[in-house]
Amino acid sequence: MLLFNSKNHTDLSQWQVINDGVMGGNTQSKFVINKSGLGEFSGQVSLENNGGFSSVRYSLTRVDVDSFQKIKIKLKGDINRFQLRLKTNKDDRHSYVSYFETSGKKQIIEIDLNEFYPKYRGRSLQLSNYPGKHLEEIGFLIANKKAEKFKLEIESISLI
């Protein structure tokens, strides 16, 4: 099931960038469709003022996911480590997370849905892993405890 395809998805109103400025930090980032037609999440993570993260969230109309086993993302990163975040309900405070490394080349990342574990503000929670029933939000976060530039180009996001 295709959830996002940058080639025919020019309306970015479902995407929201959230930086550490919500806590006083100075990280700057953006999400745009770039000249290559890819969704580009890019910026500069700053550690100033207790900062250190940037995220982008993609809101969905509730999707039933119980017949799918994995999330598949076609992307190109810049050799940074990113966190992929799923929410069963966009109003939940916690997310279900998994990490992936980018290579600087085009990649297809596939992660089993049952590998996503619950976290809130960087802390693991005493809850079960992703329940795999519903999906209302997908997010990408960079927070590697260092000041760094980043760029993540997203071609598509699917459930398989």
105-142 pLDDT per residue, tens: 999 999 999 999 999 988 899 999 999 899 999 999 99
Task: Catalogue all structural domains in the chain, each as residue range(s) with its CATH number.
Answer: 2-159 (2.60.120.430)
For residue 64, what are the CA distances in angstroms to 60, 86, 141, 151?
A: 11, 13, 24, 30
* Token pair recorded at residue 155: 């071609």
Q: Residue 100 — pLDDT band, cuts 50, 70, 90?
A: very high
Phi, psi of 42 (to 5 degrees): -145, 160
pLDDT tens digit sequence for 109-118: 999 999 999 9
pLDDT for 139 equals 98
CA angle 72, 33, 111 (to 5 degrees): 10
Predicted structure pTM score:
0.95
CB of 86 closer than 8 Å to CB of 130: yes
